[in-house]
Each structure stands twice: as structure tokens, then as C-alpha cells.
Amino acid sequence: MTATTFTHTHLTPRVGSLVETDLPTLLSGDHAAELHDLLEQRSVVAIRGIEMDDQQQIDIARTLGEVEASVVGDIYKVTFDKKQNPIGYAINKASFFWHIDRTDLDVPPYASMLSAKVLTPSGGETEFVNTYAAYDDLPDDEKERLDDVRVVHCMETAFFEAFPDPTEKQRTAWKHMPVKTHPLVWHHRSGRNSLVLSNSARAVVGMGDDEGQELLSRLLAWATQPQFVYVHEWAVDDLVIWNNTGAMHRVREYDPDYGRRLHRTTLLGDEPFDTRRSN
């Protein structure tokens, strides 16, 4: 008989929900619709004390959508331990800065989930911003000004922030990454709007460098005010799911020598950043 334990409470007034449930309930998919609703409204869902193996994590993800298969499979190990992940150093370094995943695509992932396997004694908390709430609280005249603003994104810009003095090999590799232009305001098919802010933002279309950077910096400062942010302090066996179409995130600094390791599963998206031009 399938368990039906499933309750949720707010973690902060504007962002994040704590779900209390168990592994059989998550695997059953019986509450997938409720999880989708929470991700839509609260951006982040945290579930504590869910001990699972990788296949169970994948199975839970599949109750919510289609799992993205990467070059390393359905589970990506977020760690600086090269024995566990020999290819992720640059991506992990860039994750210390505010970002939305995969701004190098027209259609980004819908959501991702992380389960904690190995942690550090201190640091390594993950911060999340509800980018819906950050947009909702903007003054009306600001919303009007931002409505048609478009921003150039490139992962080269994100990596430059993480590696301010790159090697020539790094520079050469980064220059081959796609450059995309996305709206600053994501007009979702649901009728809601969110801000598209990320460390990949290179320039604002139609603005000079100084003016564009001032706008992006001001909006980032606005969006990362405490009322829009949830900070997750990890414990082993925590499972956190976030809505990549309505959240920005970053990890706080930690000592990489401790082998901190979280297992990540990503769900494919079906909503482009630029919904107006895709219709």
C-alpha cells in the first residue's frame, strides 16, 4: 500500500516550502501535481531526511517530468573531487555567483533537484531567489520600463566572473560558447512574469556598457534582498528541488578539500525565455 504522507509549510513568507513526506510517497508520484504547484508559487521545495540511491532520485524526478541526460548520465555530481567529477571544476566555480541555469539555450531546464551526500563542516549553503516575487514587488512604472528590455547572455561572461585571470586555453574554449539574447522580463505562459538575471548577462541591448551594467547591478541588488531569498543549510539526505524558470541561485563559499558532493538531476523545460517571439 502506497504511503500518503505529504504536508508543507512556508520556509519564508515569499520563497521556499518545506515538505514533510517519505520516500515511498515521493516515488509514487501521487503528489506530483502539488509539487509542481509549490514550485510555481514558492520557487523552491526542501525535503529533509530522504535517504535514497541515485536510481530512486531519478525515479522521483521522472514523476515530475522528463530527465535531462548529460554526458555523465542522469546524475551529475556537484563536487570539486576530481575522482567523482573530473569535468566540473569551471561550472562549480561559476556556481558561486547568482545565476539561472542554461541561459545559453533558448529553452532552459524546467527544474533541478539536489540530494546531499557529503558536506563540509562550514559553508556551502545554497541561496535561492524567487524571481517571480522580485518582479511582482517592482513599482509599476519600473515594470513598464523593463517590459521590452533585452539582455545579451554568454557563459564566457559567467566564467570570467569566476576566473578573472583566465588562461589562454580557457579564453579559447569560452569563445566558442553560444551567445543568446533573452528578455529581461520573462512573460510566462501562465500569465505571470519573472526577472531573468544571471551572471551570464553581458550587455543590455540599446544601452552603453556603463548604463547597461548599472541597470543589471541595480536589479540584482533588488532581487537579492532578504525578503526574496531562501538560504538552505544542508544536512546529509536533504533533497531540494527548485524551479529554474522562477528562481536564481548560488552556493556560498566552502572548502573544496572536504569533498562536498551533491547529486543533481535536471528536468527538461518546454517554455522558452522569449515566449512572445516563440508564439
For residue 279, being part of any structural domain is answered with no
Go through 12-28 and write b for each residue having 16 or more CB atoms within 10 A of its CB, e for each that does not: bebbbbebebebebbbb
pLDDT of residue 91: 82
Query: Among the ranges 66-75, 79-88, 223-232, 256-265, which has the highest mean pLDDT value?
Result: 223-232
pLDDT digits (tens, 9 = 90+) for 171-195: 888 888 889 999 999 999 999 999 9
Residues 6 or more apart whose CB falls under 8 angstroms from that of 27 comprise 56, 59, 60, 63
Average pLDDT, the chain: 93
pLDDT of residue 278: 56
pLDDT of residue 133: 97
**Calpha distance 70→116 (Å, rounded):** 20
For residue 274, being part of any structural domain is answered with no
- pLDDT confidence tier of residue 237, bands split at 50, 70 and 90: very high
CATH number, domain of 23, equals: 3.60.130.10
Domain with 124, as residue range(s), is 6-269
pLDDT of residue 175: 81
- Cα angle: 65, vertex 73, 170; to 5 degrees: 115
For residue 238, being part of any structural domain is answered with yes
For residue 32, being part of any structural domain is answered with yes
pLDDT digits (tens, 9 = 90+) for 41-65: 999 999 999 999 999 999 999 999 9
pLDDT of residue 46: 98
> How much is the average pLDDT of 199-219?
96
pLDDT of residue 2: 45
For residue 275, being part of any structural domain is answered with no
* CB 263 within 8 Å of CB 117: yes
The 3-class secondary structure across the chain, one letter per residue, is CCCCCEEEEECCCCCCEEEEECHHHHHHCCCHHHHHHHHHHHCEEEECCCCCCHHHHHHHHHCCCCECCECCECCEEECCCCCCCCCCHHHHHHCCCCECCCCCCCCCCCEEEEEEEECCCCCCCEEEEEHHHHHHCCCHHHHHHHCCCEEEEEHHHHHHHHCCCCCHHHHHHHCCCCEEEEECEEECCCCCEEECCCCCEEEECCCCHHHHHHHHHHHHHHHCCHHHEEEECCCCCCEEEEECCCEEEEECCCCHHHCCEEEEEEECCCCCCCHHHHC
For residue 276, being part of any structural domain is answered with no
pLDDT of residue 112: 97
For residue 156, being part of any structural domain is answered with yes
> How much is the average pLDDT of 118-142?
97
For residue 277, being part of any structural domain is answered with no
- The total domain count for the chain is 1
Go through 132-149 and write b for each residue having 16 or more CB atoms within 10 A of its CB, e for each that does not: bbbbeebeeeeeeebeeb
